């Protein structure tokens, strides 16, 4: 008996299975790699919407720091009295902090209003006792302070009219 005769004969079925098995594993790996890259591409670029895709690309390649061009010659947008109040004066006058006349409190405002609008404006601009000049915000211009004084005093019972342009001399 020769050695050959002890080896079992490979059946066609085994050949088919071995071939399939050999192809299946690398095929699966390739399939997964392809799916993965499609997934990544999809999460990065929206091919369906070119405008969106463009924006996404621009967002990714835009420089870290952006240069904001500020036109210094552009006219400053004056805040209304209400806006100034909400931005600055409210800090004290909404709660009556430091003994300030509380917004809308007519009894508290009456003795202040009695001084007259020009005096109140001067006090608001330059400071008065614990009331800081311009409410502590030097970036407010005269007109804005004047408007805020009228806004607050009127809410406290006065009938002042805020000027359209600054009346007090610029300090
Ligand atoms: C840090 C707190 C504080 C802020 C902020 C503040 N005020 Fe006053 N304000 C006071 C105090 C305190 C008084 C009361 C002064 C007094 O009569 O003793 C006062 C009083 C006033 C008076 C009455 C002055 C007078 O002569 O009777 C006016 C008008 C006024 N504030 C306007 C403003 C305006 C306008 C703003 C915002 C731009 C502002 N205040 C922001 C604290 C503040």
Output the pLDDT for position 62.
74
CATH number of 81-155: 1.10.760.10
**pTM tops 0.75, yes or no:** no
| Per-residue pLDDT, 60 | 78
Of 120, 119, 170, 114, nearest to 148 (Cα)?
120
Ligand 1 centroid vs 118 CA: distance in angstroms? Answer: 14
Give me ligand 1 centre to Cα 161, in Å.
18
Domain boundaries, the chain: 3-61, 81-155
* Angle, CA of 42, 44 and 46, to the nearest 5°: 60
Check residue 4 and give its pLDDT. Answer: 60
| pLDDT for res 76 | 75
Model pLDDT, residue 27: 85
Averaged pLDDT, groups of 10, the chain, 171 residues long: 66 86 86 81 64 76 69 77 96 96 97 96 96 96 95 96 73 50
Question: Do 131 and 99 form a contact (C-beta atoms < 8 A)?
Answer: no
pLDDT of residue 24: 84
Pocket (CB within 6 angstroms of ligand 1)? 84, 88-89, 91-93, 97-101, 112, 115, 119-120, 123-124, 128-132, 134-136, 140, 145, 148-149, 152
The best mutation among 91, 99, 124 to test binding of ligand 1, ranked by most ligand atoms within 8 Å of the C-beta, falls on 124
How many angstroms does the Cα of residue 130 sit away from the middle of ligand 1? 7
pLDDT confidence of residue 3: 56
Could you give the count of Cα atoms lying within 13 Å of 110 in the half-sphere of its Cβ? 3
* Position in ligand 1 atom list of the atom nearest CA 85: 37
128 alpha carbon – ligand 1 mean position (Å)? 7
């Amino acid at each position: 008996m020769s050695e050959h005769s002890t080896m079992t004969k490979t059946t066609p079925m085994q050949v088919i299975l071995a071939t399939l098995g050999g192809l299946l594993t690398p095929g699966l790996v390739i399939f997964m790699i392809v799916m993965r890259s499609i997934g990544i591409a999809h999460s990065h670029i929206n091919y369906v919407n070119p405008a969106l895709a463009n924006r996404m690309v621009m967002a990714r390649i835009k420089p870290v720091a952006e240069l904001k061009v500020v036109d210094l010659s552009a006219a400053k947008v004056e805040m209304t009295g209400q806006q100034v109040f909400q931005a600055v004066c409210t800090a004290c006058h909404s709660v009556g902090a430091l003994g300030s006349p509380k917004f809308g409190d007519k009894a508290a405002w009456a003795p202040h209003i009695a001084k007259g609008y020009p005096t109140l404006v001067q006090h608001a601009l330059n400071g008065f006792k614990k009331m800081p000049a311009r409410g502590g915000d030097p970036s407010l211009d005269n007109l804005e302070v004047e408007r805020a004084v009228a806004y607050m005093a009127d809410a406290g019972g006065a009938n002042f009219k805020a000027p359209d342009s600054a009346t007090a001399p610029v300090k």
